[in-house]
Amino acid sequence: MPGFDRDFLGSPTPYPELTDAAAADAVPVDGADWIDYAHFSLVMSRSRRMARVVAWNIDGEALLPEDAIGRSGIRFRPDPRVPTGLQLTDELYARNDIDRGHVARRADLLWEPDAARANSDSFFFTNITPQHRDFNQASRGGLWGRLEDDLLAEARLSRQRVCLFGGPVLTAADPLYRGVAIPTAFWKLFVYEFDGAPRAQAFLLRQSLDDLGPELFPFERWKTYRLPIAELREIAGLDFGAYLTWERPLEQLAPEAPRLPLEHAIW
């Protein structure tokens, strides 16, 4: 299976390097840390039973409407290549406001060839993380998919092609729910060509878990911020050094200033 295409853009888009701790926590399949699916690949975290990082390609010019390929009859299910005990499954998601949140969005993967296979592959639990429904669902104004929607709407995006990397921020401070540590933040790195030049930008997205019980995440509600790519080594256990020269500079913020909100980002 082809998985994430590292030659999808005019410039190569290599996988990030895993830190030693992230590599030790990975769940290899057939001797490789990266597990391939149609249009995406991922690395599983053994300790957290979810993906540490997912890499996927979007061909905006070939994207099909979401209703062109149905999801009816496709169940969320474990990937048989990964031990079931190392995947979070349905028990976590019953009778609460936690969604089975796709890391690589189903809507991003529906392009030919292999659109039907990508649609089905997106429902493996290896591509799913616990996301509050207000964070995940577009019908509720969820943040998770708005970033790529906004980027694909930009006319100067070369060939409407984007490579994405994303995943949860896994920390020892994540609150426990049903015995599972729930991430309170997620990140995305976008790599693309804009006006013919390669660019990369990272974002940090926070989700609130207030509705799941007291003291889970009692602070800020939904926020989306630009994030220096170099910081992904610390928060994600991944080294994206290959993309540092492509990064759009952050605005002139004082060191103590908050991250740049999404609405002020300049592609």
Decide: helix, strand or coil at residue 119.
helix
Q: What is the pLDDT of residue 145?
A: 67
Q: Identify residue 122 by its one-letter amino acid code.
A: S
The answer to whether the CB of 223 falls within 8 A of the CB of 193 is no
Query: What's the pTM?
Result: 0.88
Could you read off the pLDDT tens digit of each residue along the chain, which spans 267 residues?
689 999 999 899 999 999 999 999 999 999 999 999 999 999 999 999 999 999 999 999 999 998 899 888 899 999 999 999 999 999 998 888 888 999 999 999 999 999 999 999 999 999 999 987 766 555 444 566 677 787 788 767 888 999 999 999 999 989 899 999 999 889 999 999 988 899 999 988 887 666 555 444 333 433 457 889 999 999 999 999 999 999 977 653 334 434 444 443 434
> Residue 2: inside a domain, yes or no?
no
33 to each of 46, 59, 214, 238, how far by Cα in Å? 11, 25, 37, 13
Within-domain flag for 8: no
Amino acid at 4: F
Based on the structure, what is the number of domains in the chain? 1
The pair phi, psi for residue 64, each rounded to 5°, is -95, 155
Task: Indicate the Cα dihedral angle 53, 214, 132, 178, nearest 10°.
Answer: 60
| 7 domain residue, yes or no | no
The answer to whether position 145 is within a domain reads yes
> Cα(127)–Cα(259) distance, rounded to whole angstroms?
28
Residue 6 lies in a domain: no
Alpha helices in 113-231 (DSSP H): 115-121, 133-136, 146-152
Report yes or no on 11 lying in a domain: no
Domain span at 83? 17-264
Q: Which two tokens stand for residue 199?
A: 């660019």
Q: Nearest 5°: CA angle at 21, between 16 and 22?
A: 40
Report if residue 1 sits inside a domain: no
Output the DSSP codes for 214-234. TTSS-S--SEEEEE-GGGHHH
Q: Where are the beta strands (DSSP E) in the chain?
A: 17-18, 35-37, 40-45, 50-59, 98-102, 128-132, 157-168, 176-177, 180-181, 185-194, 197-206, 223-227, 238-239
- What is the reported pLDDT for 190? 92
pLDDT of residue 209: 65
Given a contact cutoff of 8 angstroms between Cβ atoms, the answer to whether 9 and 192 are in contact is yes
Is 132 a member of any domain?
Answer: yes
- Check which CATH number belongs to the domain holding 61 and give it: 3.40.570.10
